[in-house]
Amino acid sequence: MFNSLIAKEEDTVKMVDGSACEVIGTGTINVTCKDGTVCALEAVRYVPEARHDLISIGVFDEEGCQIQVLQDVITVSQ
């Protein structure tokens, strides 16, 4: 659930199948990590048509985070 949400006009997200889904807004959400730490993710896009919640590894990379994938577990750290 969003902590805050700002309506966004005329933005779309391209899905894996090539279709485009409308972005309704952007906001901040809290994510509880495996160790119990709560992290805030900002500039999260709200796309009601998306069937699943997705987190972009590319965005974490752009923000300077370190990403490690080992045996189906993804670890993101700063």
How many domains would you assign to the chain? Answer: 1
CB atoms within 10 A of CB 27: 19
Find the mean pLDDT for residues 10-25: 90
Per-residue confidence (pLDDT) for residue 23, from 0 to 100:
94
pLDDT of residue 63: 85
Convert the pLDDT of each residue in 34-73 to its tens digit: 888 898 888 899 999 988 888 888 888 888 889 999 998 8
* Count of CA atoms in the C-beta half-sphere (13 A) of 59: 8
Task: Provide the pLDDT for residue 1.
Answer: 80
For residues 40 and 31, give the distance between their C-alpha atoms in angstroms, rounded to a whole number: 6
Q: Which residues form the domain of 50?
A: 2-77
pLDDT of res. 16: 86
Contact 50, 21 (CB under 8 A): yes
What is d(CA 12, CA 10) in angstroms, rounded to the nearest whole number? 7
